[in-house]
Structures are given as C-alpha cells and as structure tokens.
Structure 1
Amino acid sequence: MLLFFCGIELDEDFRNLSEYGIHEFSEIIVFLKTMNRLRDDPPSRKLSVIVQTSSSLLNAATIPVEMKDSSTVNDLRELLLSNKILPQEDYLFIHKQRIMRDNCSLRWHGVESGDFLYVFKGTVSRGEY
C-alpha cells in the first residue's frame, strides 16, 4: 500500500502524521499495490467527455474531447494546450464539484463518458491551519 498527502508519498520512516502537516479531516490518498497489474487492472476504455471552460476563458466554450480513461489530468491539459484550445496558463480541472489531481487518471476520478469537466484559470495552494 502507498500513502500520499498533498502529492507527497508518506515514507515508512515512522514519522508522526503532524510532521507531514496532516491534521484532522486531512485527505490521505491510498494506492494498493498489486503483484500483477495486468491481471487486476480493467482494460482501458475510451471516454467522450465535455470540457466546459469558465466565462473568463474563451467565453465559456464547450469542447468535446475523447481520451482513454487511463489518461491523466495532465494528459488532458497537454492535449488542450497542444491543440491551442486553451492559452498557456495554469488551470484547475473540476469533476463533480471536486478538484482533479494532475497525476491521477480520469478513471481514478470516476469520470464516465458524457461527463462534464470544468476548467478554470488558477492553481491550488494549501495553507497552514
């Protein structure tokens, strides 16, 4: 099992959770390692999703996109940037009212064909409590 907090893997060096900045209600991501990923992972599926930009980007454009569900949010960002659909900026992607993590797959986020993904200019920074 692998544990991540704010994109940082929690080591097995027996540090206290507070040393990582983990507090009550912090979100820890758990990945289960498997011995045979090919056997355990479902085959990749092609998704048809709609990327909806905010009103400050391209006058709230609706962009149909096809990608594999194994593609990451970074892959989606690069596709939109390389096709000059989005200008070179920092963006947040939102699915079902949750900020999507750049290095996680669309499958990991629970994205299904027909879903809307919303994109906004900006970044996320985590402040101290």
Structure 2
Amino acid sequence: MKIHILARAYALTFEVGTQETILEIKQKIEQCLGVPVLSQTLSVCDWELLDGLDLEDYPIVTEGTKIDLTINHIPSLEIRKQIQITVKFSSRKHNMDVDQTETVGSLKEKIHIIDGTPIKQMTLFYTGLEMDEDFRKLSDYGVGEFSEIIVFLKTMSRLVAEPPSQKLGFVVQTSSALLDSICLPIEMKDSSTVTELRELLLARKLLPLDEYIFIHKQRIMRENCSLRWHGVENGDHLYVFKGTVSRG
C-alpha cells in the first residue's frame, strides 16, 4: 500500500507492506532524505509510531495515510543505540527492538501494546535485579544487545482487582472519515467492555453500522476488556476509527 510521509520541507510517497516495521520505514526515509533514523519521529494524529512494531500493529494506517515526520536534534552525548532484547513471561516471550536510552516505563508501554498485559501488573527483572524505577533508562540497569528481561505479574486480591462499578463520563471522538470528526459525550459504568460501548453507539445510531477500533492514550483497546481495565478515567477522550484488528 502507499503511505505519504510529510515533513516541514518534504513530502514523500512510499509503497510499503503491512508487515514492514516502523524502523524499516525510517531506514527508507534515511536513504531518500539523508535524515538519520535516530533523528526521526513518525506519528499519525499525534500518536508516535514505535520502532519495535510493524504497520499491522497500527490499523489506523491504511492506503493513502499521511504520516508526519519530525526531525529531532540528538546531542552527541545522548545518541541512541537500537538493540534487540527478549521479553520473557512464564509461558511466552517476545523479541523487541528498543533504544538503550529508553526508560523502564516506556518499555512497559511497548510490552502492553504487543502483549496486552496491564502495565500496573508488570514487574521487570534483569539478571535477578528488579527494574523498580520507571524513569530510569534501560542502560542504567546494564541492558544491552540480546538481553533477556523477565516479566513477573503482580498478584492482586479480588477486592483490589475488581472494585465496585462506578459511573464514568468520557468523550468518544470520531475521525473525519466517519462523521466529520465529532465529539460524543458518553456515560457508562467503568466495568463496561469496549464491545458494550460499540453496541451502545450503534444502538443509538451515533455511528454507522460497521466495524470499529477504539483507541485510548495511543493504545488499541481490546473488545472484551473493560473501560476500567484500560485505565479510562472521567473526562478522558477515546478515539474511534473504522477497521478491525487481526493478529497472527
């Protein structure tokens, strides 16, 4: 498919595959414009596209999508080095491309995007040492090429994991491709699932009958998970795009 890369002084059109990684697209930009990969930030609707993911992880990127390119100045002392690490759970593992200057907190966000594990339940360990400060860089813990990071899940009591349902007021904002980018104020219980939210919007005829993707804080929301599970709070904005999510 074709995508358009837009920067202040450039406009490029690339033919890409859905399984191409964001890093590979940045490498193409470097070949065309001479802008180093480490100086590039790609985003769609102000949501940054992460190097360790591919286009299949971003259903909002479709034929003809315009992707914004921001060129960053990186001080020589803070040049980022791209490395591959393995994130290992008790029954599965993921290989990921990250920067050594990335923080523990941002790594947890990437793990959440790829695996769906709630950030608050993650505890990360490297060489037996707990990575217990989200603001610290991976390099502070000695993480390097091909390092293996272990993910333990915190156990939560039923009382903590499932507090009583509460009323939640938030805003659903549609893309311009749907209804001229309108904002829909919604009230639901925080225990309601994304599927129930979609059915409510369709039943009230606030959206045309179709398949939709909901996004909260740059993360694709899971159909069978509750608003509380996604961390939705009063006053938050959820964004809706036409499409479906399919993973191999």
| SS of equivalent residue, structure 2 residue 169 | strand
What is residue 181 of structure 2 aligned with on the other side?
60
The runs of at least 4 aligned residues of structure 1 exceeding 2 Å deviation read 28-34
> Could you tell me which of 115, 122, 143 is aligned with 1:27?
115
Structure 1 unmatched runs, 5+: 1-15
Q: Equivalents in 1 of 2:213, 2:245: separation in Å? A: 8
Task: Tell me the SS of whatever aligns to 2:186.
Answer: strand
When residues 90 and 44 of structure 1 are mapped into structure 2, their CA distance, relative to the original with a 3 A threshold, is: same
Partner of 1:23, secondary structure, is: strand
The code of the aligned residue for 1:73 comes to: V
- TM-superposed deviation, 1:23: 3.2
What TM-score do you get using the length of structure 2 for normalisation? Answer: 0.39
- Structure 2: distance between partners of 1:28 and 1:81: 26
Residue equivalent to 2:215: 94
Corresponding residue of 2:87:
none
Corresponding position: 1:71 with 2:142:
no
Q: What is the rounded CA distance, in whole Å, between the counterparts of 1:88 and 1:31 in structure 2?
A: 40
Counterpart secondary structure, 2:195: helix
Cα drift, residue 75 of structure 1: 0.7
Q: Counterpart of 1:64 in 2: which secondary structure?
A: strand
Task: State the Cα deviation string for residues 62-109 of structure 1 (Å, max 9, x = none).
Answer: 100000100000010000001111111110000001000000000000
Counterpart selection for 1:116 from 206, 213, 237: 237
By how many angstroms is 1:45 displaced? 1.0
How many equivalent pairs are there?
A: 105
- Give 1:32 shift: 5.3
Identity across matched positions, percent: 62
TM-score, length-scaled by structure 1: 0.72
RMSD of aligned alpha carbons: 2.1
Structure 1 residue 124 displacement after superposition: 1.5
5 Å-filtered alignment, 1:2-13, equals: none
Relative contact order (alpha carbons < 8 A, sep ≥ 6): 1 or 2 greater? 1
Look up the SS of the partner of 2:178 in the other structure. coil
Greater Rg by CA? 2
Whichever structure has more helix as a proportion of its residues is: 2
